[in-house]
Every structure is written in structure tokens, then in C-alpha cells.
Amino acid sequence: MLKIKIEGVDKFKEVFEIDSVERARAMTRFMLRSIVDKVCEEVVRAIPEAKSWLKIYKNALKVYEIRKKDFNVNEFGFVIGARISGDWSMVDANTMLVEFVPEEGSEDYEIGEVLRKYSPFTVDMVPNLPVYGAKTTLKDVRSDEIDEVRENNKRQKASLVGALSAEGVKPRDGQAKIDGVIYFDMVFMILRMETGWGDIKKPHWKPALRKISAHISELHRDAKLQKIIEGMFEPGSLEWKKDANDKYPPMRLNDLEKIEEFHEKINPL
């Protein structure tokens, strides 16, 4: 355990009569945050930059803090994550598949439902439509999977065109070019890297998580860190209040569903 040396009974009394609970909470939060920072650094350092989406992922990965109003007063939490989106120009026809998820509330929802039913598509087999009524998601896969999906798209093309016609829309000539935001299925893509199923086999989460115990020990031995914590318990010091201020972008507790699913699959413990 990290020891905090406080000399003198009067000093001890002064500290703990004033705001000991708040100071202890600030110290715990600071320690947790420091460990999460270390893990994030390890993960980012190990991400390869073999593809454009990997570079974006590496630059986007950061620490978020769960919104305070989602927790009780004595609770807090941090999340390492990345919010990644782009546009159609980022699509790699040789390695990416396109999937559609109907957009709730869209007047073109039924078109989106048809596209969901026939997903995934290779980039060259996405129907060229005036509207899609769906959210577009990309998955990076192996080249043999691209060929397999393309053949399936070809077999189902007539059925797809018929289903779209029934909804009052007819595919136009030429390649599709979808406007608006394109999302990346990062959970799918990173799990493939972690488990060796993708064309890029580079675990970077599991090795970082295995080092959590080492990070804790390292932080306990860190003289600079101990000085900061000791300062939190100095009578009259307001340093502990500074650390209580927001430092990271907030994330809603409800947004953790996919992150928790990902963590369960890659947690090496």
C-alpha cells in the first residue's frame, strides 16, 4: 500500500477534521486515473499504422470519464475508447465490407431495412441509390472474405433490386457514393487483430491489460506521484480540489454496452 506520512497529532487532527473524506476520494480518483492513463499509453504505443483507419484509430484513442451524474457521489470511472467516423472517401474497396442499419425515424426506414437484410456488401456491389435510410458501417476483413461476399452479392442482386423496387426505389447506373458520415465497426476490427482472425494480427489490448499490476506497483514507487498525494493531505492545501476538476471528455454510462462486450472478450485476467 502507498504510505502517507503525517507527523504530529495536531496536524493529523486538523486534516481529518476538515475534509478528509473529500481528500481521500480525490486521491483514489487520482490513482485510478493514473493507472488508466498508463494502460492507454501502452495500447496506443502498440497500435500499428499499416492502414489509414489504424492511423485514425491510434490518434483517436483516449481516456473518457463517466459522467458524474451517472454515478453516486462516491463513485467514479474512466474508459479508454475511440469515437471514429469518416466519409465515403475513406472506404478501401479491397479490404472493407459495407453494412447498413436502418435509421429509426427515417422516412426511408423501409429502404434501410432492405439493405440491412442483404448486408454485407462489397464496395463495388453497394446499390447506387438516391436515399439509403440507414446508417453505414465499415468492416475491415481479409481479401478472401471480400471475394466470398462479392459472389453472394451477385447471386442476390436480382432479389435485392426487386425488394428495393417494392419500396419505390430503383438502383441507378454507376458506383454508389454515400453522402454523410460513415462509421467504423471498431469492436469487430480490433477483436480480429487481438485474436488473429484478420489480415493484421497485432494484439495490443491484451498485453497492456496484463501489465495493470505492474503499473500499480510502478505508481506506488513513483516519488513524484507520492509527493503529489502527500500534497493532497497538507493542511490548507487546495491541490486536491484541482484534481477533482474535469480533465477528460465525458461519456454516458449507457454508452458502455459495446465497450463492456469488447472488454469481456479480450480481458486476459
Q: Mind listing the pLDDT tens digit for each residue in 196-243?
A: 888 888 889 988 888 888 888 887 788 887 787 777 777 777 777 766
**In the structure, what pLDDT confidence band is assigned to residue 46 with cuts at 50, 70 and 90?**
very high
DSSP 162: H
pLDDT at 28: 82
Percentage of the residues of the chain whose pLDDT score is greater than 90: 38
> Is 103:134 a contact under the CB 8 Å cutoff?
yes
**In the structure, what pLDDT confidence band is assigned to residue 258 with cuts at 50, 70 and 90?**
low
**In the structure, what pLDDT confidence band is assigned to residue 17 with cuts at 50, 70 and 90?**
low
pTM of the model: 0.74
DSSP 95: T
Instruction: For residue 134, give the nearest of 146, 145, 120 by alpha carbon.
Output: 120
Instruction: For residue 268, give the nearest of 189, 192, 211, 229 by alpha carbon.
Output: 211
- Look at 57-66, 91-100, 194-203 and tell me which has the smallest mean pLDDT: 194-203
> Is 98:136 a contact under the CB 8 Å cutoff?
yes
C-alpha gyration radius of the chain: 25
